[in-house]
Amino acid sequence: MAAAKAAPARRHIGELDLLRALTVLGVISVHSIWFTNTATNLSANLGMDLLHYTRNVFMFMTAFVLFYVYYRRSYPLSSFWAKRFKLVGIPYVLWSMYYVYYGGALKHGIGFYLSTLGVDLIQGTAWFHLYYLLVTMQFYLVFPLFVWLVKKTRGYHRWVLAASLGLELLMMVVFQYAPNWMTTGVGQPLLWIVQNRHQVVFTYQFYLVLGALAAVHLDQIEAYIRDHGRTLVVGLMATALAMAAYYGLSVTVWQEPVGFAANVFQPLMPIYSLFVILSLYRLGQRWLQARSQSRWRSATWAITWVADLSFGIYLIHPAVLEELTTRFLWLLGPFTRLVITPVTALLTLAISALIVRGMAATPWAVYVIGREQIPIPWDRFRRYWPRRPRRPRPAPADTTPLEAEVSSVAEGGA
């Protein structure tokens, strides 16, 4: 690519702050339901099924931000990859090392630990959520190809999006109901994709294309979302009901296992996720209009804070959740889950955010949570805890009044 040029001025997309905050809360909610309920609980699995859009929203935002920043500017490809892999690749390695250790691999010796770590780094399986970082780095590798495709299909982007959605729907059917012929012959490469669908970037191609095209046509997309808010809400409710109906039929009529019925790769998931993304963006528009009001000041602060720390919260929350549920799982009962599950989610979010805020204040923040250091603004706290002035020491008998005043100032008394 051409040498770097000055990028055109870009406004901050405030709607994404709300999307980040709500999506990371959704991720924590899915995992909290998973950790605090039995694997065969029908209502818990339905809740997870309806919240499984979160990974797709993250993929959408990843492509959206990259295209919004880089699409209309020239930049050296080497510097692009160096920057992006620094922000994601290094945290991926460090957190994989931590979670392999947290899982107890080191108890079996350093050789077992290193071999386990090597496999997990390749497959994104050091812990159940790190696949997202692996997929993100795959997208960084093919990002120039995405840019080329979007520029070459200018004028046909609606058709590109429609074709991408059709392909995604087909893939979901294959992933959910992989036919037996994939186990032999020419179907074996497809079987590999099915078996590794969580960690392959191609699985999420529709959300990446959607994010790319939304960033390229931002003004038109925002106007459409603003003018069709009610339609989007109706579509969201209809697709959510369709998801619930599919889940119910799978369990009761087709006699499929509960976990299979609530699988993240449901055939209806792309359409449902599309309405979730557009509806959340519309909610973000409404939030931007309301956040200037004083009654929303605390909520605005919390949303912005969680959004800024969302990547770090995503990385650390499984360990926090594991510790909480391990120590307090005895509280769970058939009726207390309705209370314990949401409380667990909120506690996990709060504790994770506090820990990540401490990490963000260190010089190593960029290597741990993928963002530059954010010093703690101690000046804001000093107004709540003002320093009491020291009393000046009495001047010795042989000291003149002027000398006494100078001594008092030097000691901080004035």
pLDDT tens profile 12-40? 888 999 999 999 999 999 999 999 888 88
277 pLDDT band, cuts 50/70/90, is very high
379 pLDDT band, cuts 50/70/90, is low
Residue 144 pLDDT > 50:
yes
- The pLDDT assigned to 175 comes to 87
Instruction: With respect to residue 243, please indicate whether it lies within any of the assigned structural domains.
Output: yes
10 pLDDT band, cuts 50/70/90, is confident
Question: Cα dist. 76→63, 149, 329, 351, 398 in Å?
Answer: 19, 18, 52, 40, 73
Instruction: With respect to residue 19, please indicate whether it lies within any of the assigned structural domains.
Output: yes
Residue 383 pLDDT > 80:
no
Percentage of the chain beyond pLDDT 90 is 65
What's the rounded mean pLDDT across residues 331-338? 65
Q: Which residue shows structure tokens 């009044």?
A: 401
Residue 105, both tokens: 């691999």
Residue 327, C-beta contacts closer than 8 angstroms, at least 6 positions apart: none
131 pLDDT band, cuts 50/70/90, is very high
What's the rounded mean pLDDT across residues 162-173? 95
Q: How many domains does the chain have?
A: 1
Question: Cα dist. 392→15, 203, 399, 400 in Å?
Answer: 54, 71, 14, 15
Instruction: With respect to residue 408, please indicate whether it lies within any of the assigned structural domains.
Output: no
- The pLDDT assigned to 362 comes to 93
Residue 173, both tokens: 């059917």
Residue 240 pLDDT > 80:
yes
Residue 376, both tokens: 């703690």
Cα(283)–Cα(306) distance, rounded to whole angstroms? 17
- The pLDDT assigned to 114 comes to 96
Cα(173)–Cα(268) distance, rounded to whole angstroms? 9
DSSP state of 302: H
Distance of CA 83 to the CA centre of its chain: 19
Query: Considering Cα of 57, then 193, then 127, then 90, what sign does the dihedral take?
Result: negative
Instruction: With respect to residue 397, please indicate whether it lies within any of the assigned structural domains.
Output: no
Instruction: With respect to residue 384, please indicate whether it lies within any of the assigned structural domains.
Output: no
Which residues form the domain of 177? 15-376
Contact 295, 327 (CB under 8 A): no
325 pLDDT band, cuts 50/70/90, is confident
At 393 the three-state DSSP class reads coil
Residue 225, both tokens: 């979302």
What's the rounded mean pLDDT across residues 127-156? 95
**Average per-residue pLDDT for the chain:** 86
Instruction: With respect to residue 396, please indicate whether it lies within any of the assigned structural domains.
Output: no
Contact 231, 274 (CB under 8 A): no
- The pLDDT assigned to 2 comes to 45
Distance of CA 1 to the CA centre of its chain: 30
Instruction: With respect to residue 389, please indicate whether it lies within any of the assigned structural domains.
Output: no
Cα(37)–Cα(47) distance, rounded to whole angstroms? 11
Higher-confidence residue of 293 and 35: namely: 35
- The pLDDT assigned to 219 comes to 94
Taking the chain, what is the end-to-end CA distance rounded to the nearest angstrom?
Answer: 61
Instruction: With respect to residue 391, please indicate whether it lies within any of the assigned structural domains.
Output: no
296 pLDDT band, cuts 50/70/90, is confident
Tens of pLDDT, residues 175-191: 888 766 666 666 666 77
300 pLDDT band, cuts 50/70/90, is confident
- The pLDDT assigned to 84 comes to 92
Contact 151, 245 (CB under 8 A): no
Cα(354)–Cα(376) distance, rounded to whole angstroms? 12
Cα(293)–Cα(260) distance, rounded to whole angstroms? 45
Out of 26-35, 61-70, 322-331, pick the least confident.
322-331
389 pLDDT band, cuts 50/70/90, is low
Q: Based on the number of CB atoms within 10 Å of its own CB, is 282 exposed (0-12), middle (13-18) or buried (19 or more)?
A: buried
* Most confidently modeled range among 43-57, 191-205, 331-345: 43-57
Out of 142-151, 188-197, 325-334, pick the least confident.
325-334
Residue 403 pLDDT > 70:
no
Give the angle subtended at the CA of 71 by the CAs of 69 and 72, to the nearest 5°: 95
